[in-house]
Structure 1
Amino acid sequence: MQIRLAYAGETGMYVSWNTYSQLTQPTVSYGKHPEDLTHSTSSNVSVTYQTSATYNNHVKLEGLEPGTQYYYQPQHSNVSKPFSFKTSRPAGDHTPFVVAVVVDLGTMGEDGLTTHVGTGAANPLTPGETNTIQSLQDYEDEYEFLMHDGDIAYADYWLKEEIQGFLPNTTLEEGAVVYERILNDFYDQMTPITSTKPYMVGPGNHEANCDNGGTTDKVHNISYTVSICSPGQTNFTGYRKHFRMPSAESDGLENFWYSYDYGMAHFIQLDTETDLGHGFISPDEPGGSESEDSGPFATMMNQQTTWLAADLAAVDRAKTPWVIVAGHRPWYISYANKSSAVCWECKDVFEPLFLNYSVDLVLSGHVHAYQRNAPMYNDQPDPRELDNPRFPWYITNGAAGHYDGLDTLSTPYDNYSRFAQDTVYGWSRLSFHNATHLTQDFVASGNGSVLDSATLYKEHGVSSGYGGGHGGHGGHPHARPSGRYWP
């Protein structure tokens, strides 16, 4: 159960799945034809933690052909036909492609977002409404892989949901079981997608521990802290055990920061929760804080920022002209309570590197709403906007959906906001057309409509391939080329 994939370089794929018993030698059979799984690879990685009901099994398939369809079957799978995946496009392949992006996506149904909420929560689904997981399934033939930039499942909401009357009350000891059940519900719900599409994840604050950094029962005047968490439900333990991201392939650190190439793009996942470097510790979230009992994970000061600088410096822009960075917390967002939402330390540490190495797009969430901003640096919009800007383009989309609903953005919006909405659940679709044009769409989960669409033009020192002017088509920088990837 809970089958999931992740890229392991151009010629590798991590295959992970869960079992109720520990496997002595987790094995994956695979091949290029569904009835001929002639190859097999094994590992010795079958790991669990206190309070977990299952074991996480991880096998790395190596020596695969890039851009190739494979069929596979994990050990003890009882499915009637094998699963399938497609390996990464090689760096330098400038064929158009699409990526799906979600942030802040939780369990759907009886343990999470559904057609009703408890006291104090908001924005339930309407009867029959398509939720984000279902929407991603509906469109999975259109995108190559799924990025999930933090806040995965929201199992740490179990106590809040009980206090608000959404879930029945349990003891704190039984709460550990509820926490694990919510995690398992989510991973099971995602399996139809993650068993065929690589699922590239990053850390968010809700992966830190079992209690969302603290919960208060106002009726009984009781405040709960991380001290209520059972062994195994602190310090990002479940997140660290459950996933395998390409950190070894990119000299990153576990599932916290890493990078990978895909065709014409270089993707970077950052950790905005811990290990920010330069002595910064986020005051209200993990960052090594004892109140969260989470991190740090680096062994050297500034390890993440040192890695980021080296990773960016090594990018071959002729092969991968696009550089995309994801990090859970934003710093450009129209939100009233910025002290709890914005990662100012991240801005101080990361933003100069983004400018210096010409990062194109920065994706975030954490605030449960959608806001597309202008390209930015040091609180100033780029005067060229999306027409070959020098500054990175910032988009926050935390509207994927979870039990607590959506956040309300603060109006009037900040001067850098170009489109914002806080009433609809949805996800982002990135369409890489060629070396110079990239479109980001906000897709409403409920009906698949595109509520916002914008195209970034960047020269990258390479030809657009259109002909006829600096943007092609008579020189208009945002002229739309033909092709199925353009909405």
Structure 2
Amino acid sequence: MLFQLSAATALAFATAAQAAPENLGQCTGGIFPTQIRLAYAGDHGMAVSWNTKLQLTHPTVYFGKDQRLNRVAQSDVSTTYPSSSTYNNHVVLTGLEPNTAYFYKPNCGNVTYTFTTARRPGQKTEFSFAMVGDMGTFGPDGLSTTVGKGAANPLKPGDLTTVQSLAARQGSYDFVWHVGDLAYADAWIKEEKGGYVSPYNLTDNGAEYDRILNDFYDEIEELSSGKPYMVGPGNHEANCDNGSDLSVCVPGQLNFTGYRQHWNMPSAESGGLENFWYSFDHGMVHFVMFNTETDFPNAPDEPGGEGAENAGPFAPTGAQLAWLKKDLAAVDRKKTPWVVAAGHRPWYVSTTVCTECQAAFEPILIEYGVDLVLHGHKHFYERHAAVANNVTQEITNNPTAPWYVVNGAGGHYDGLDTPSAPYVSTSRDVIVAYGWSLFTVHNCSHLTTQFIGSANNTILDTATLIKDHCHPDDGDGCPV
């Protein structure tokens, strides 16, 4: 629900709310907002989400174009699940202007934050976005300069974490896209077995998992409170006992439960499903998130799949692929000439591939002319050629095939992977280092990627895709 107040009334109401929650009683620590996070909600909206120790009757956000915060939005969405120590609160702000800065504050907060709305679809100005995959908790509950038995590739003293690297470059991108495997709270058993976290206790009813998960969300708040943090599902969201020979998961930590409740992706605005598949426009690009874990033939995380996570399905048979075809068919390529898609598991990569994913998704991505496909899952960086049905095309020569980039090098407790040479024929560069990707959409014909080494923000790889998307009558600034 969204309503408008006069500036004076809103200011008085917001001031009172600093000492009062939605029922105008006293603000307590139990309803103090934490883990604040943003997500695009269509062309004129922004989802604001946060967690509290206690349930809220009406989660409320005060916002506006200046710090008077003369608008108010509320919802009745404040949910939890078994083993969670917090409630997830979601409010969608609507009626916003595109590419416009707003100030906002969740109820009972003591900090006013800012965000900038999505660029108008078809806006032809240059912009960048950040992409990261397979990034977990850093510090005492995750990857640090020391690791326990069984883990590898600790950070070197003085290295920045990927979160710190992203934070240092926060002014250079419009949003973050985390394409699966968040937090790695399911590594808690490995950490206890390896002596990194103590004591070794498999009967804590999910407390250690919950603690690591909350640590991750606290860590990324520096990013997610100021820039939309868009996410997709990975296999580590489906289960909680990675590395255990026993099934010790409590029900709330199975079947993507926490992932489903924590985030609020724009599926309602794009006809998708929860946080599993959705799309959004931003400037010259149509972005699409698809789900490589469930809801397609032989999906790896479904019962009987190779991932053995016994998760999903979450929709009727064929629903995801039908949605993906419909979504891509509706793209106006004169307005958003670029189409960028992401799904967690890769099928072009110099290690084990997801053949089931390739069979389900690649024909659709080729048919509708997707330009760039992003994956994580493998814990290194690998840039490929443009590829269709295992046949390569070079990215500087107006390829008709999608260009593939795999980046699961965000960093987590287990460390990095090292693929064995010789690499697959589609591969163009492999880097084994912690890092993230910065993509810049220059105009309708040029899109550049940079792989940023997190340790010291060094650019370790760069390449530019050149496509003939230009329409001479558009005045879009494309090179002649």
> Would you call these one fold, judging by a TM-score over 0.5?
yes
Aligned to 2:3: none
1:418-438 per-residue CA deviation (whole Å, 9 max, x = no partner) reads 11111x110000000000100
For 2:39, the aligned partner's letter is: A
Aligned to 1:363: 374
C-alpha spacing 1:311/1:287, structure 2 compared with 1 (3 Å): farther
Q: Is 1:240 the equivalent of 2:250?
A: no
Between stretches 178-187 and 452-461, larger displacement belongs to 452-461
| CA distance, structure 2, for counterparts of residue 395 and residue 434 of structure 1 | 20
Between stretches 426-435 and 410-419, larger displacement belongs to 410-419
Superposition map of 1:161-172 within 5 A: 161-172=191-202
CA contact (8 A) 1:103 1:398 kept: yes
Out of 425, 446, 451, the position equivalent to 1:415 is 425
SS class of match (1:266): strand
| CA distance, structure 2, for counterparts of residue 91 and residue 321 of structure 1 | 10
CA contact (8 A) 2:299 2:357 kept: no
Aligned to 1:448: 457
CA contact (8 A) 2:46 2:93 kept: yes
| CA distance, structure 1, for counterparts of residue 303 and residue 43 of structure 2 | 32
Aligned to 1:54: 86
1:280-332 per-residue CA deviation (whole Å, 9 max, x = no partner) reads 232xx34675942311101x211111000000000000110000000000000
Aligned to 1:265: 285
For 1:128, the aligned partner's letter is: G
Deviation at 1:168, TM superposition (A): 1.0
C-alpha spacing 1:129/1:230, structure 2 compared with 1 (3 Å): same
Deviation at 1:78, TM superposition (A): 2.5
| CA distance, structure 2, for counterparts of residue 346 and residue 309 of structure 1 | 15
Superposition map of 1:36-75 within 5 A: 36-75=68-107
SS class of match (1:229): coil
| CA distance, structure 2, for counterparts of residue 346 and residue 231 of structure 1 | 27
Aligned to 1:2: 35
Aligned to 1:400: 410
C-alpha spacing 1:177/1:461, structure 2 compared with 1 (3 Å): same
Q: Is 1:196 the equivalent of 2:235?
A: no
| CA distance, structure 1, for counterparts of residue 70 and residue 138 of structure 2 | 38
| CA distance, structure 1, for counterparts of residue 139 and residue 423 of structure 2 | 33
Q: Is there any run of 5+ residues in structure 2 with no aligned partner, and where? A: 1-33
| CA distance, structure 2, for counterparts of residue 231 and residue 170 of structure 1 | 21
SS class of match (1:172): coil
| CA distance, structure 1, for counterparts of residue 468 and residue 475 of structure 2 | 11
1:51-78 per-residue CA deviation (whole Å, 9 max, x = no partner) reads 1000000001011111110000001112
CA RMSD of aligned residues (A): 1.6
For 1:61, the aligned partner's letter is: L
Deviation at 1:345, TM superposition (A): 1.1
Aligned to 1:30: 63
| CA distance, structure 2, for counterparts of residue 401 and residue 286 of structure 1 | 26
CA contact (8 A) 2:83 2:205 kept: no
For 1:328, the aligned partner's letter is: H
SS class of match (1:187): helix
1:235-254 per-residue CA deviation (whole Å, 9 max, x = no partner) reads 10000010000000000000
Aligned to 1:437: 446
SS class of match (1:441): strand
Q: Is there any run of 5+ residues in structure 1 with no aligned partner, and where? A: 217-222, 473-487
CA contact (8 A) 1:374 1:386 kept: no
CA contact (8 A) 1:202 1:257 kept: yes
Aligned to 1:280: 298
C-alpha spacing 1:466/1:197, structure 2 compared with 1 (3 Å): closer
CA contact (8 A) 2:395 2:466 kept: no
C-alpha spacing 1:120/1:28, structure 2 compared with 1 (3 Å): same
Superposition map of 1:471-482 within 5 A: 472=480
SS class of match (2:206): helix
CA contact (8 A) 1:205 1:286 kept: no
SS class of match (1:129): coil
Aligned to 2:49: 16
SS class of match (2:189): helix
Deviation at 1:106, TM superposition (A): 0.3
C-alpha spacing 1:121/1:259, structure 2 compared with 1 (3 Å): same
Superposition map of 1:61-460 within 5 A: 61-79=93-111, 82-174=112-204, 176-212=206-242, 215-216=243-244, 223-224=245-246, 227-276=247-296, 279-282=297-300, 285-286=301-302, 291-298=308-315, 300-335=316-351, 338=352, 342-382=353-393, 384-422=394-432, 424-460=433-469
CA contact (8 A) 1:275 1:288 kept: no
SS class of match (2:35): coil
| CA distance, structure 1, for counterparts of residue 60 and residue 299 of structure 2 | 41
Deviation at 1:386, TM superposition (A): 2.8
SS class of match (2:191): helix
Deviation at 1:10, TM superposition (A): 1.1
Q: Tell me which stretches of 4 or more aligned residues in structure 1 moved more than 3 Å.
A: 285-291, 463-467
For 1:253, the aligned partner's letter is: L
| CA distance, structure 1, for counterparts of residue 475 and residue 200 of structure 2 | 62
CA contact (8 A) 2:179 2:232 kept: yes
Work out the number of aligned pairs and report it.
445
Aligned to 2:26: none
For 1:315, the aligned partner's letter is: V
SS class of match (1:399): coil
| CA distance, structure 2, for counterparts of residue 471 and residue 32 of structure 1 | 36
CA contact (8 A) 1:266 1:315 kept: yes
SS class of match (2:382): strand
| CA distance, structure 1, for counterparts of residue 201 and residue 136 of structure 2 | 23
| CA distance, structure 1, for counterparts of residue 95 and residue 479 of structure 2 | 39
| CA distance, structure 1, for counterparts of residue 154 and residue 303 of structure 2 | 32
